[in-house]
């Protein structure tokens, strides 16, 4: 369809009303959005009564921090002081071991797989003793490999209050 005088007048009116080019193309029918943009450009229609895109949002100031109000539903328990005697760490045992009896080729399923020596050297071996049912190492090497879990330091009431202040 061509641009008749009636269609051009309707285009001008819709453009001044603030409709977008694709909305105008739908109302006119038979033209594309790009055809509407081209015709608006050729007619020199630059100003609009209302903008086609929404206004930019203005910067909003951050909200003031909320004041936490404790609910008086249940009485509070006071934490009992916990003794903070440090648990000494288990000393690491270093054993100067003689070469083992197993190599990579002779290592079996129930043999201790504790490496002895430098893997890049020719004299590298494995322990080779009978391993425990629970793991890949013999009893002596399991005590070295599996250290007991260190108990965490029990925090007192002051530490609890300090950590809760971050969330209030």
pLDDT digits (tens, 9 = 90+) for 42-74: 988 876 655 556 666 666 777 777 776 655 565
Residue with tokens 């055809």: 35
pLDDT of residue 93: 56
Q: Do the domain assignments include residue 111?
A: yes
State the pLDDT confidence band at 102, using cuts at 50, 70 and 90.
Answer: confident
State the DSSP code for 15.
Answer: H
Q: Do the domain assignments include residue 87?
A: no
pLDDT of residue 81: 58
- What is the Cα–Cα distance from 151 to 153, expressed in whole angstroms? 6
| Tens digits of residue pLDDT in 107-131 | 888 889 888 888 888 888 888 888 8
- What is the Cα–Cα distance from 168 to 165, expressed in whole angstroms? 5
Q: Are the C-beta atoms of 14 and 27 separated by less than 8 Å?
A: yes
Q: Do the domain assignments include residue 126?
A: yes
Query: What's the length of the chain?
Result: 168
pTM: 0.35
Q: Do the domain assignments include residue 100?
A: yes
> Which of helix, strand or coil describes residue 21?
helix
Average pLDDT over residues 157-162: 78
pLDDT of residue 166: 73
Q: Do the domain assignments include residue 25?
A: yes
Q: Which two tokens stand for residue 110?
A: 């129930």
Count structural domains, the chain.
2
Q: Do the domain assignments include residue 29?
A: yes
**Residue 9: domain span:** 5-43
Q: Do the domain assignments include residue 78?
A: no
Q: Do the domain assignments include residue 9?
A: yes
> Which of helix, strand or coil describes residue 17?
helix
pLDDT of residue 68: 67
**Angle in degrees, 0-180, between the axes of helices 5-17 and 33-43, rounded to the nearest 10:** 90
Query: CA dihedral in degrees (21, 26, 27, 28; nearest 10)?
Result: 80
pLDDT of residue 100: 74
Closest CA to 156 of 98, 86, 78, 55: 78
pLDDT of residue 33: 92
* CA 102 vs CA 79, 97, 109, 121: distances in Å: 56, 14, 12, 15
**Residue % of the chain over a pLDDT of 90:** 9
**What's the chain's average pLDDT?**
78
């Amino acid at each position: 369809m061509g641009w008749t005088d009636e269609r051009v007048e309707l285009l001008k009116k819709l453009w001044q009303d603030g409709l977008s080019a694709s909305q105008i193309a739908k109302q006119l029918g038979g033209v594309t959005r790009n055809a509407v943009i081209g015709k608006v450009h050729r007619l020199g229609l630059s100003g609009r009564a209302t903008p086609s895109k929404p206004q930019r949002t203005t910067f909003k100031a951050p909200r003031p921090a909320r004041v936490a109000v404790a609910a008086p539903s249940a009485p509070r328990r006071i934490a009992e002081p916990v003794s903070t005697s440090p648990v000494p760490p288990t000393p690491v045992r270093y054993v100067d071991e003689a070469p083992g009896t197993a190599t990579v080729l002779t290592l079996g399923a129930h043999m201790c797989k504790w490496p002895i020596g430098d893997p890049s050297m020719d004299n590298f071996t494995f322990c080779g003793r009978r391993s425990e049912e629970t793991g890949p190492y013999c009893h002596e090497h399991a005590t070295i490999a599996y250290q007991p879990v260190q108990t965490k330091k029990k925090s007192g009431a002051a530490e609890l209050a300090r950590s809760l202040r971050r969330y209030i």
